Amino acid sequence: MYSSRMNLLHSPNFSLFHIPKPLNFPRSRINISSPFPLRSHFPPLYPIKCAPVNSSDSLQPDPLQPQTTKQNSVPILEILKQSNTLLPHVVIASTLLALIFPPSFTWFTSRYYPPALGFLMFAVGVNSSEKDFLEAFYRPAEIVTGYLGQFVVKPLLGYLFCIISVTVFGLPTAIGAGIALVSCVSGAQLSNYATFLTDPQMAPLSIVMTSLSTASAVFITPLLSLLLIGKRLPVDVKGMVFSITQIVVAPIVAGLILNRFFPRICNAIRPFLPPLSVFVTALCVGAPLAINVESVKSPFGLSILLLVVAFHLSAFIAGYILSGFIFRDSPDVKPLQRTISYETGMQSSLLALALANRFFPDPAVAVPPAISTVIMSLMGFSLVLIWAKSKE
């Protein structure tokens, strides 16, 4: 048996690795031009993707694998960042709530206003850089135009509506004095935030305008009050300087320092600033209305409301037209028009309210500033919504 097997192995016709000979079909029986090659009938069982070993694509996650963390976190951050678009609606809701249920806002007294406005300025500082503020000082023409809108155009409109309130509407002289007093005060810090929401690159310029008008208001406001109302108003110079430092300078500097030296902290808190800013703005709008709701509901309330609306509307329009005429050849004329319109149409009505309560014995003088606080905010942030939509 063993010898027969060995003979078989040594046989010339035996091969351990037998490879059959290819079949020699005639060439005429193979259709070379067939649109269905033979291999198309046997597709591979799995899709094959070749990539170099060092390619980053070889380490990419499977697109069919659900990425739950990314899909759940990104929309939340986007919602937080887009909270500013709800600001006009929130302001309207806070106004209605203050009228229907005043105790919801009466707890937010005037002592909370400096830190609240300071927080809004901090939010602007976190989203800006020191270079932006340095560049703002190299635009003296724009700063002067905003200053003229604050202390020339607006007081003239205030005096005009003061005359209209007395001669046309037959309102008491104290009401006209209150309208004129509103036109004599400096710009509001809310105008800086409104500018930031519409044109972020213009926010430093707006802050410089408001700071200069507030600093000079210690001299300009008493002078304008004497010219328009005939009453000398002593203003606390030290108090005004401290107010500017507390509300504007310190929060912005803190935001700039945080943005410069601690960018990771800024990136962590930046998505939460818009919703908090919306909440703070709603408090700043609803509280003055809730505290002075009885004055708003007075017999002259509707007439004063119409006059204050007309005053602010004309101030917004005047600032927009004036800056458009002066800077018509500027490449950023539209952002400038919006910025100076905010500066002209929005002013520190809370300061006017404080001056009216302190230096005027007639309580009717305080009614226009109380209504102006609400109307100024409503109109300003309504323009934010309109202009933001037009930019899109």
Reported as half-sphere exposure (CB side, CA atoms, 13 A), residue 208 has a value of 21
Report the percentage of the chain scoring pLDDT > 70: 74
> Given a cut of 70, is residue 186 above it in pLDDT?
yes
The pLDDT assigned to 42 comes to: 46
The model's pLDDT over 376-392, given as tens digits with 9 standing for 90+, comes to 888 888 898 888 777 76
Looking at the domain covering 97-390, what would its CATH class be? mainly alpha
Cα 372 from Cα 356, distance rounded (Å): 13
* Range with the poorest average pLDDT among 237-251, 295-309, 365-379: 237-251
Q: What is the mean pLDDT of residues 138-166?
A: 92
DSSP character at residue 62? P
> Given a cut of 80, is residue 128 above it in pLDDT?
no
For 187, list phi and psi in degrees, rounded to 5: -70, 160
- Local confidence band at 83 (pLDDT 50, 70, 90 cut-offs): low
Strand partners, 347: 187
- Local confidence band at 120 (pLDDT 50, 70, 90 cut-offs): confident
User: In the numeric block, which tokens belong to residue 341?
Assistant: 């319109």
> Given a cut of 50, is residue 59 above it in pLDDT?
no
Q: Tell me the domain boundaries of the chain.
A: 97-390
- What does pTM read for this prediction? 0.69
What single-letter amino acid sits at 304?
A: I
Which of 190, 195, 187, 98 is closest to 150 using CA atoms?
187
* Range with the poorest average pLDDT among 37-41, 194-198, 212-216, 261-265: 37-41
Residue position matching structure tokens 């202390």: 151
> Given a cut of 60, is residue 306 above it in pLDDT?
yes
Contacts of range 105-112, beta carbons closer than 8 Å, 24 or more positions apart: 105/283, 105/286, 105/287, 105/289, 105/290, 105/291, 106/287, 106/290, 106/291, 108/283, 108/284, 108/286, 108/287, 109/287, 109/291, 110/350, 110/354, 112/283, 112/287
Residues 6+ apart with CB under 8 A from 54: none
The pLDDT assigned to 232 comes to: 60
Q: What is the mean pLDDT of residues 283-311?
A: 82
Mean pLDDT of all residues in the chain? 77
